Amino acid sequence: MNAMEQPHGGASAIAEMIRAKRLEMNLSQAELAQKIGSHAQTIHKIEAGIIKYSRYFDTIGRVLNLELADTWAGRSMPPLNPELRAQPGWASGTGALFGPGTILVHSAMPHERDARLTMLSTRTVGRSNALQCLQHVANAYAFPIVTSAMAPAFEIGDEVQVHPFLPPEPGRDVVLYSKAAPVGDTKAVCVARLIDIGAKSWTLAQWSGASERKLRPFKPHEFTLSRADYSRAHIIVGKKMRWNS
């Protein structure tokens, strides 16, 4: 065992889990790195606890057959949900980059009963030029805003672009995926501003069509969703306004 392979005293539970499973499968750090398209130094830093969060966690989990809990700022995030692998940004290549700097745009429709939710489809309706920060992010994806729940931040017709690997952070706009069974080729998601991450729930805010109101000031509509029911969060990194697309 070389110096890089040695256990590290500051490693987290996730790091130790990855290292133990890798050794169990008789893989070197270089071999695991090759399987996930990375470098041995990256695996070393993950196992040593130097890298606390990595976009490779999902791929490592699949290779090692582990359900990894993403860690951000000391908060334990929900384990990887296999259901999401069939959703935008996961396996089957639906959210992969197609052509230089382009991402797939998925269709969406309003939820029939809950105005806070959107039904996001695995079907794609075209491609869009990726924002600069998504130029080299495999599995990034986009979809149109179809409700006024987040207006004026996101108006109906705007296109939001999503990074599936960034850790959720209060103050960011997110796409929360429901664990409920898909309806046809659609899955319920909630587009909202993340206010706080609790042990059992997400605290969220929507503007609820504030741009359509005549009275000022307005108060955002705050609510919570159970992390048991909405276990995965993707980060909205930007938008294309409907008038400029």
> What CATH number does the domain containing 15 carry?
1.10.260.40
Helix (H) or strand (E) holding 174: strand 173-178
Helix (H) or strand (E) holding 119: strand 117-129
Domain boundary residue, one of 32, 56, 79: 79
Residue 174 has pLDDT above 60, yes or no: yes
What residues make up the domain containing 99? 82-240
Report yes or no on 37 lying in a domain.
Answer: yes
Band the pLDDT of 83: cuts 50, 70, 90: very low
**Higher model confidence: residue 50 or residue 147?**
147
Band the pLDDT of 30: cuts 50, 70, 90: very high
Q: Residue 186's pLDDT is what?
A: 92
On whether the CB atoms of residues 211 and 151 are closer than 8 A, the answer is yes
pTM: 0.61
Helix (H) or strand (E) holding 201: strand 201-206
Name every residue whose Cβ is closer than 8 Å to that of residue 212 and which is 6 or more positions away in sequence.
148, 151
Looking at residues 215-241, what average pLDDT do you find? 87
Q: Which of 11-15, 89-93, 241-245 has the lowest average pLDDT?
A: 89-93
Q: Residue 137's pLDDT is what?
A: 82
Residue 107 has pLDDT above 80, yes or no: yes
Report yes or no on 245 lying in a domain.
Answer: no
124 plus 138 within the same structural domain = yes
On whether the CB atoms of residues 180 and 188 are closer than 8 A, the answer is yes
Q: Which of 97-101, 122-126, 211-215 has the lowest average pLDDT?
A: 211-215
Looking at residues 27-48, what average pLDDT do you find? 89
Structural tokens at position 49: 């606890």
163 plus 44 within the same structural domain = no
95 plus 207 within the same structural domain = yes
19 plus 55 within the same structural domain = yes
Report yes or no on 218 lying in a domain.
Answer: yes
